[in-house]
Structure 1
Amino acid sequence: MSGFPDFPNSAQQETLSAIRRSFHREPELSWTEFRTSARLCAELTELGFKIQYGKDLYGERTPSNPPEAEVSRQAYARAEAALGRNNSYLTAMAGNRTGLCATLEGGHPGPVWGFRFDIDALPIQESRDHSHPPAAQGFASDNPGVMHACGHDGHLTIGLGLAQRLAATREQWCGRVHLFFQPAEEVGGGGVVFADLPQLHEVERFMTLHLGIVDAYQIICDATWICAKIYDVRFRGRASHAGNAPQDGRNALLAACQAVQGLYALPRHSGGLSRINVGRFHSANAHNVIADDVYFRYEVRGANNDVADYMAQQAEQVLGGAAMMNGVEYEKTTFAEFSGWPNSPELAEKVEKVARDLGLPEELLQRPYLVPASEDAGYMVRRVRDQGGLATHLILGCPVGDGHHSCAFDFDERLLPWGVELFYRMVADGEKE
């Protein structure tokens, strides 16, 4: 299959590509999506949506894992320089209260829909190689060391495109639609906060999506994600001179290294696939000193919550054993968690039907699929399903350059109008109450 067919409306394709590229140029890290959120607020307000953002949206909720204060300060200053010191949307987002919910009523009573779009980027310096389309076509990131390397610029573009379609035809469709532009997916924080929003509590049918993932042209209507738990660990020992008195030291670095080896050697579980990774390790000690303070961050993943819990429990034993062998102490804190949750087959089947009705080729359709990665929209899916609603996660698959989270990530922009149309038809084809 050579890919998705060209969208029949070339003007719509061009409009969405332009929107995506403008957001791609200005990526922002998790919990610092100030400029992105403020721009979305302005554009959705102009379309006639009721928006909630900042303190009004969060209430007493606060980000669970915000970045360091200086990172937030610099990001806010950058947004302020672009938008002006007195931008009302921006000032309301102080304290890392980024993201928003936009609501629109249709012309007739009907179901309450929710669509979620993540908006954060990653701490990656984008490639400037001529083979990388954003660099070659002049829309690579202007924010040094930050890049949309996972398609979230495309996701929020689909959200805006959906908003435009809904606003232009609001008298024709039934029900109410909440559009959730969610921050901090990459660090597993925004989904937990947004799952507790009152707007989500009334949603009866919920959808979210991801571009790429499978590195092939596919429409996956029932994608589920593995669970993940991410931890920060600090080993503390006793410093001493490595040559003069090594016997007086308690080597936190050695304990941490043994722990890392033990983590990678953990036995797996027959209940499903599992993963483990140590992605960050730091020891700021002199070469001739027995290290007394070492930090690393690790993650465990499982095909379901039971497997992830098993991996977390086994990892805890490894940490404790390494500390005991070396006479040091350790402390572990949770950085983030990603929950997995099954979709609603009946809603996935409806997406398939809509795709067929739009004339998309049958060979593109694939269902179901377990993604060997994690997604914090699982918390929102769980909330909707727990309250009796329907939910599913859509993947619009395509080749993605050098892969997700790489400096040369990119996706096929032809998917953007198809994503808008699939979501729009889900609402527009609904029946009146």
Structure 2
Amino acid sequence: RRDLHAHPEPGWTEFRTAAKVAKTLAELGYTVKTGADTIRQDAMMGVPSAEKLAKEQQRAIAEGADPDWVKKMDGGRTGVLGVMKFSEDGPVVAVRFDMDSNDVTETGEASHRANKEGFSSCHAGAMHACGHDGHTTVGLALARLLASLKDQLCGTIKLCFQPAEEGVRGAHAMVESGIVDDVDYMLGAHFGFKMRKTGTVACNVTGFLATSKYDACFQGVPAHAGAAPEQGKNALLASACAALNLHAISRHSAGASRINVGRLDAGSGRNVIGDKALLCLETRGATSEINAFMETEAQRIIKAAAMMYDVKVDIEKVGGAAGGSNSPELAAFLEEEAK
């Protein structure tokens, strides 16, 4: 876990982590799939450029990743599946773990435990701030445990190691590859970040909001703000107009709805009409239908703002997932077994 914490990798660039997972699963006797066998390329969202991915592959190899496994993950297809079929027939159970890090710079404070004990992030701008280093480690521990018990178990286990959970990107591309089509029971887990009491178990998490993530790129025309302002087309103002009006979308009477513009980068200089802007936003809804309403309204407002300022806009969906809740019966069973 500390090794993974020291080498965090953002979504679709988890080449080192995924290669270590694949190699370990293979050594434990699992049938291992990765690359195109676990990720459907046209279902990937928010993927870095080809140049960025190639650079990250070389970085991972330099940090000790097995080159053969890394090569299989070309294009950022870093999902890993380990399958073990036991001696007797039974259900197909899948367990899912995520691997990616956050776009966060780890603190340099001397009191920070990772700094004191020598396992802080070696990558500026990347950190395991959401526990996925632990999730991956738990997944490999489970893989080792199940392999040791394989003669006592029935059915099939599928261990899914998922990339790009942050930004809600990786699960969709893995599901679309077909690797969980035959699964009877699907389990996922996350460390309880609000849980303080040792031995506490929380299995029945309900009411996950549906969500969608978008990047809107506005393109205008630059001009000197003093000499020829009329010749410019202001993408900065268009994006600012969109940001304000996105937050004015009506809330929905059927359930919770959310909108947030989390980032806005615009302009190029104090005396230049702002010719470019990037607006990053997300929508959420208590149901997929409510989220769809928020999505439709958000796109309408962004396009209207671009039209108002006579600039171009390109809207890209970079993440998203449907709403959902756990199965109450399965959650109750798991909680009792865990206790």
TM-score strictly above 0.5: yes
Q: 1:270 to 1:59 in 2, by over 3 A?
A: closer
Structure-1 residue corresponding to 2:146: 166
Show the 5 A alignment for 1:242-391: 242-356=225-339
TM-superposed CA distance for 1:58, in Å, is: 4.1
**Identity rate, percent:** 38
Match of 2:222 among 200, 218, 239: 239
Residue 211 (str. 1) matches residue 194 (str. 2): no
**Cα distance in structure 2, aligned partners of 1:54 and 1:95:** 8
- Cα displacement string for residues 277-305 of structure 1 (whole angstroms, at most 9, x for unaligned residues): 22222224232222222221111111221
Structure-2 residue corresponding to 1:148: 128
Q: With the length of structure 2 as denominator, give the TM-score of the two structures.
A: 0.91
Q: 1:265 to 1:57 in 2, by over 3 A?
A: closer
SS at match of 2:54: helix
Match of 2:68 among 76, 81, 88: 88
Structure-1 residue corresponding to 2:25: 44
Deviates more, 1:160-169 or 1:256-265: 256-265
- Cα displacement string for residues 89-116 of structure 1 (whole angstroms, at most 9, x for unaligned residues): 1221122121210011223221110001
**Cα distance in structure 1, aligned partners of 2:67 and 2:311:** 51
TM-superposed CA distance for 1:56, in Å, is: 4.1
Task: Tell me the amino acid that sits aligned with residue 201 of structure 2.
Answer: I
Structure-2 residue corresponding to 1:29: 10
4+ runs deviating over 6 angstroms = none
TM-superposed CA distance for 1:273, in Å, is: 2.3
Deviates more, 1:21-30 or 1:232-241: 232-241
Show the 5 A alignment for 1:73-112: 73-83=54-64, 87-112=67-92
SS at match of 1:353: helix
Residue 222 (str. 1) matches residue 192 (str. 2): no
SS at match of 1:198: coil
Q: 1:215 to 1:243 in 2, by over 3 A?
A: farther
Q: With the length of structure 1 as denominator, give the TM-score of the two structures.
A: 0.73
In structure 2, the gaps of 5 or more residues are none
Q: How many residues align?
A: 336
SS at match of 2:171: helix
Q: 1:139 to 1:306 in 2, by over 3 A?
A: same
- Cα displacement string for residues 170-195 of structure 1 (whole angstroms, at most 9, x for unaligned residues): 11111110000011111322111111
| Residue pair 2:236, 2:267 contacting (<8 A) in 1 also | no
| Residue pair 2:256, 2:286 contacting (<8 A) in 1 also | yes
